[in-house]
């Protein structure tokens, strides 16, 4: 069949088009390779992005928790625990006759020993300054007690405790005698009893088997923990050891040596009480939280000699135990443990 001129033209155009598409890839082959490599890039240091993957993944060092690493000085850590509320409780009051003054607490406690704080005069209580004579002491005590009775505590439910450290102070003997003349029973407790009472009042049941308590007082420091169903305790120098001419290094080494007695399985959390821990926690307390997690010892600067000595004790304790979480309880005190120990 004879092809017409128009048909010849169409065939030539088709052949030309096919030839163009066959040759074009070869002419641009080098550029094609560079286009392929430009779609990927090396992984960015600190990221989990893989080559050729366009989806961004969190970096390996990224953390989703707001709790800082163990031992850091940040104050963002929290201890979230809510104890059970008492049911049909009774108001009970206790006054601690301490080494430098009084601390008082009023609690609502039920028959199951569940308790909650009603009022506290803690860390800033009536001091012995100005109580020069027995008349001054008696007048000061009456005024102090009247304020507690106004809170609803019955006279029979008021108790007095003299701490082990305070018993070494001459002033407390005079105060004790005046209280007895007023008809009150004054309870002297040993350092061992203090440690055990503090543990009972402070350490939540869920932590009783794996944590310990430290109470840094002015006259002595008490540490306690539960072992084989029994409470163990040790006594160390208090935050005013400098008044006895004891060197910082000596106390630091003594703390590290004796604290080694705490079993490794009991070092999960260190619950902490006392005047110096109170001062430390006060620096970064948030609102009215019951528990404040302290910063690492090195994060604090001593405002006075007592605070500096307390920090020496805290540092030795933290280093010897390896515990990175110390929780200050704003409501607890060993004297509340005394109330919990009463059979009533």
Q: What does the alpha-carbon distance between residue 133 and residue 141 come to, in Å, rounded to a whole number?
A: 12
For CA atoms 308, 310, 316, 320, give the dihedral sign.
Answer: negative
How is residue 86 written in tokens? Answer: 């008492």
Residue 92 is inside which H or E element, if any?
A: strand 90-97
How is residue 299 written in tokens? Answer: 């994060």
CATH, range 90-188: 3.30.420.40
Q: Which CATH class is domain 191-333?
A: alpha beta
Q: 74-90 as b/e, with b when 16 or more CB fall inside 10 Å?
A: ebebebeeeeeebeebe
Q: What is the pLDDT of residue 67?
A: 39
Q: What is the pLDDT of residue 170?
A: 83
Largest CA distance in the chain: 142
Cα distances (Å, whole numbers) of residue 36 to 30, 40, 42, 79, 191: 10, 8, 14, 53, 77
Q: What is the pLDDT of residue 127?
A: 63
What interhelical angle do 305-321 and 248-259 show, nearest 10?
A: 30
Domain boundaries, the chain: 90-188, 191-333
The residue count of the chain comes to: 344
Helix spans in 28-133 (H)? 29-37
Q: What is the pLDDT of residue 8?
A: 54
290: burial class by Cβ within 10 Å (0-12, 13-18, 19+)? middle
pLDDT digits (tens, 9 = 90+) for 59-99: 322 222 333 333 444 556 899 899 999 999 999 999 988 77
Residue 138 is inside which H or E element, if any?
A: helix 134-149
For CA atoms 241, 167, 193, 293, give the dihedral sign.
Answer: negative
Q: What does the alpha-carbon distance between residue 216 and residue 193 come to, in Å, rounded to a whole number?
A: 15
pLDDT < 70: residue spans in the chain: 1-76, 122-132, 344
Facing residues of 115 across strands? 109
In this structure, what is the dihedral angle of CA atoms 311, 317, 318, 321, given to the nearest 10 degrees? 180
Cβ neighbors of 295 (< 8 A, separation 6 or more) are 72, 73, 74, 75, 280, 284
Cβ neighbors of 319 (< 8 A, separation 6 or more) are 256
Question: Does 191-333 match 90-188 at the fold level?
Answer: yes
Tokens 């000085």 appear where?
A: 73
How is residue 304 written in tokens? Answer: 């006075």
pLDDT digits (tens, 9 = 90+) for 235-279: 999 999 999 999 999 999 999 999 999 999 999 999 999 999 999
Distance of CA 309 to the CA centre of its chain: 20
**Which among 227, 225, 170 is positioned nearest to 192, based on CA atoms?**
225
């Amino acid at each position: 069949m004879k092809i017409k001129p128009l048909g010849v033209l169409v065939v030539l155009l088709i052949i030309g088009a096919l030839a163009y598409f066959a040759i074009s890839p070869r002419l641009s082959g080098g550029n094609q390779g560079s286009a392929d490599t430009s779609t990927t890039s090396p992984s960015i240091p600190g990221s989990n992005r893989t080559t050729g993957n366009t989806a961004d993944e969190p970096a390996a060092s990224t953390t989703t928790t707001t709790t800082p690493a163990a031992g850091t000085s940040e104050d963002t850590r929290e201890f979230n625990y809510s104890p059970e509320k008492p049911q049909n409780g009774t108001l009970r009051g206790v006054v601690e006759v301490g080494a430098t003054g009084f601390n008082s607490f009023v609690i609502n406690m039920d028959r199951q020993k569940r308790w909650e704080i009603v009022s506290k005069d803690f860390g800033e209580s009536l001091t012995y300054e100005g109580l020069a004579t027995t008349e001054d002491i008696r007048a000061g005590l009456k005024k102090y007690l009247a304020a507690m009775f106004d809170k609803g505590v019955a006279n029979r439910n008021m108790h007095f405790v003299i701490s082990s450290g305070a018993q070494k102070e001459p002033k407390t003997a005079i105060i004790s005698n005046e209280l007895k003349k007023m008809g009150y029973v004054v309870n002297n407790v040993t350092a061992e009893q203090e440690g055990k009472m503090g543990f009972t009042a402070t350490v939540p049941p869920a932590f009783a088997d794996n944590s310990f308590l430290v109470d840094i007082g002015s006259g002595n420091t008490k540490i306690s923990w539960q072992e084989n169903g029994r409470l163990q305790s040790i006594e160390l120098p208090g935050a005013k050891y400098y008044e006895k001419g004891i060197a910082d290094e000596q106390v630091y080494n003594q703390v590290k040596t004796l604290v080694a007695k705490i079993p490794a399985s009991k070092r999960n959390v260190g619950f902490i009480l006392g005047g110096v821990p109170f001062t430390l926690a006060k620096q970064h307390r948030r609102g009215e939280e019951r528990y404040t997690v302290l910063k690492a010892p090195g994060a604090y600067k001593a405002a006075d000699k007592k605070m500096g000595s307390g920090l020496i004790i805290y540092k030795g304790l933290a280093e010897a135990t390896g515990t990175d979480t110390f929780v200050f309880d704003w409501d607890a005190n060993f004297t509340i443990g005394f109330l919990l120990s009463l059979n009533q």
